[in-house]
Amino acid sequence: MTAAWLAWSLAGLFAAAACSEVAEESYTFEITGPADAFVGATVATLSLADREIARTAVNGNMPFSLEVGGLDPVNTPFGIFAVRGLDAAGNLVAFGQTPEIEIETRPNLVRIFVQKPGTLVKSPVDLGVQLREPVVMRFEAVPGPGYLRGVTTPVFGLGATTAGAASSQLFAYNPITHRTVPLEYAGKARYRSTGLGRPDGISFLFGGLSAVPPPEGPEMMPPPPLPPLVETIEQLQLERGNFSQFSLRANTVPIPGFARAGVAMTSLGNWQYVFGGIDATGPVAKTTRFARDNAQPVELPPMMAARTGHTVTADPTAISTAAINEARILIYGGATPGQPVAELLDTDPNPVWAAIAQPAPAGAVGLAHPGTNRKDHQAIILPVRTTMGNNAQFLILGGRADDGSVRGDSILCIPAEARFEVSPITLRTPRADFAAFTLRDDLVIVGGVNSAGQPVATAEIYNAKTLAFIAEVPATPRARPGVTTLGGTSAIILGGDAAGTPVTAIEIYQPLRSQ
């Protein structure tokens, strides 16, 4: 379909600014998105910081551009621009917005990606690089002279190249221009490394393999991982000039004895916790923690079971209502048959383990039994669903059973009460090696492989409050995709593997919303 281009000039929208001594600045907004984004809309509006500054009639054509003049960089130095498509009754049918950007003293082009809420659509560009199983980390751009603030962007890379070698490349996906930007990074090439992003903008790269092993089964250990095994990425900066230049600062932290791949990590306060994974002997039960500014690891009591393909989830209730050293961490799945399925690490005053789910009884395969082991599943912290004691609940979804079958069931865990209960969610398509995330009130399950080992071409959407099914929508087939959310407004799904072929498509999910 050949998209029509519409242009309209709104110079002088801000009369007060036009009369002031401050130079008026103009912006050109390129509105992009799927061809059907504005279908059903009769009006498009442009807002700055939730204040409407322009509107025009639309006829459903995409993409189009618009120019806005009279912006005041002094009195309105920062703001979020949003585009809404409204139907004749005023209902929202299309939406898109920028991160918080600075009103610069020069003309600028800004792209706003608009789509229908509750949909999963492809970005106007792809990754520009083919990588299998990339690490994906979320960064908040660091403010400073010459840099923007409040811009959340994914950084991705490493993994395996199409030639079968471990990659040492990192890239940033610019959410303002919807472009992939190569980053200067002098770290090690890594395959099946684990990335951990922290709220303070520090990210860690842990472990991995220096070479991609030949196919030999998921429990076999390839050549030993590489030292050093921990690197920190301390800053990501987005330069103002044309919203295009990123810079990265990385620091190598040599921590001995961490020769592992496929670990699970979480962050609590100043500590990073590392659980399980595989070393040269196979799956391990090791539990280690280290501080952001201290390269000396602390070995904690090992888990009750060696684990790989497990999940690690920190209880946010404990973090917010008690001292950090009183937090609880749930480890689920990935154990060998007959071992404890789930364990809870209580870090106060000294770390101690407790088993909270035992192996399922005979005949429980395929049932949502609390003690049903699984691996390559997902664990999600539900944003608002609580028990009578106001304790957080985790949702354990999908994965592989001990016999290799792919599961579609789910269970709920209440860590503070050390118990499980059956969840109402049964996936429409059982899947493993998938991604899951919550955004506003939406719970989204995307990608993975089905019972036949084929990549799943759908995403399932549920209400994160009630766990009620909402919709099943088309998605790019991919296993082990990377996902990160951008400021509560959208999610980016990238990378992954489709039957041995790296997936380059980037998909954007926008949550359901009324306005």
Transcribe 273-312 into DSSP letters.
EEE--EETTEEB--EEEEETTEEEEEEEPPPSS-BSS-EE
SS3 328: strand
**For residue 273, is pLDDT > 80?**
yes
| pLDDT for position 278 | 87
| pLDDT for position 1 | 28
| pLDDT for position 453 | 92
Rounded CA-CA distance 271/294 in Å is: 10
- List, in sequence order, every beta strand (DSSP E) within 158-302: 170-174, 179-183, 194-197, 203-206, 230-238, 246-253, 264-268, 271-275, 278-279, 282-283, 287-291, 294-300
| pLDDT for position 218 | 46
| Pairing relationship of beta strands 119-122 and 108-113 according to DSSP bridges | unpaired
Which pLDDT tens digit goes with each residue over 102-128? 776 555 677 788 999 999 998 877 888
Mean pLDDT of 40-69: 81
| pLDDT for position 160 | 83
| pLDDT for position 245 | 62
* Selected residue with higher pLDDT from 286 and 63: 286
Rounded CA-CA distance 89/173 in Å is: 36
**Number of CB atoms found within 10 A of residue 392's CB:** 24
Q: Write the single-letter amino acid at 437.
A: F
**For residue 70, is pLDDT > 80?**
no
**For residue 500, is pLDDT > 50?**
yes
Residue 365 binned pLDDT confidence (cut-offs 50, 70, 90): very low
Q: What is the b/e burial string over 102-131, where b = at least 16 CB atoms within 10 angstroms of the residue's CB?
A: bbbeeebebbbbbbbbbbbbbbbbebebbb
| pLDDT for position 14 | 27
**For residue 276, is pLDDT > 70?**
yes
Mean pLDDT of 58-68: 71
* Selected residue with higher pLDDT from 285 and 200: 285
| pLDDT for position 366 | 44
CA-closest candidate to residue 306, choices 346, 251, 263, 350 = 263
Q: Is 168 exposed, middle or buried (0-12, 13-18, 19+ CB in 10 A)?
A: middle
SS3 74: coil
Indicate the range of 44-48, 141-145, 380-384 predicted with least confidence: 141-145
| pLDDT for position 9 | 29
Rounded CA-CA distance 231/205 in Å is: 5
- Report which listed range, 8-22, 188-202, 371-385, is most confident: 371-385
Do the Cβ atoms of 345 and 352 come closer than 8 Å?
yes
Per cent of the chain over pLDDT 70 is: 73
Mean pLDDT of 156-176: 83
- Report which listed range, 58-62, 358-362, 499-503, is most confident: 499-503
**For residue 16, is pLDDT > 90?**
no
Do the Cβ atoms of 423 and 406 come closer than 8 Å?
no
**For residue 458, is pLDDT > 90?**
yes
Rounded CA-CA distance 463/470 in Å is: 7
| pLDDT for position 35 | 86
| pLDDT for position 30 | 81
**For residue 219, is pLDDT > 80?**
no
Residue 250 binned pLDDT confidence (cut-offs 50, 70, 90): low
| pLDDT for position 238 | 60
| pLDDT for position 3 | 28
**For residue 136, is pLDDT > 80?**
yes
**For residue 265, is pLDDT > 70?**
yes
Mean pLDDT of 489-504: 86
* Selected residue with higher pLDDT from 156 and 229: 156
Give Cα separations from 503 to 233, 449, 493, 507 (angstroms): 25, 14, 11, 11
* Selected residue with higher pLDDT from 7 and 432: 432
- Report which listed range, 275-284, 360-369, 403-412, is most confident: 403-412
**For residue 446, is pLDDT > 90?**
yes
Residue 301 binned pLDDT confidence (cut-offs 50, 70, 90): very high
CA-closest candidate to residue 174, choices 84, 110, 265, 102 = 110
Mean pLDDT of the chain: 78
Mean pLDDT of 222-226: 56
Cross-strand partners of 81: 48
CA-closest candidate to residue 319, choices 277, 270, 359 = 270
* Selected residue with higher pLDDT from 92 and 70: 92
**Number of CB atoms found within 10 A of residue 292's CB:** 17
How far out from the chain centre does Cα 161 lie? Answer: 22
**For residue 255, is pLDDT > 70?**
no
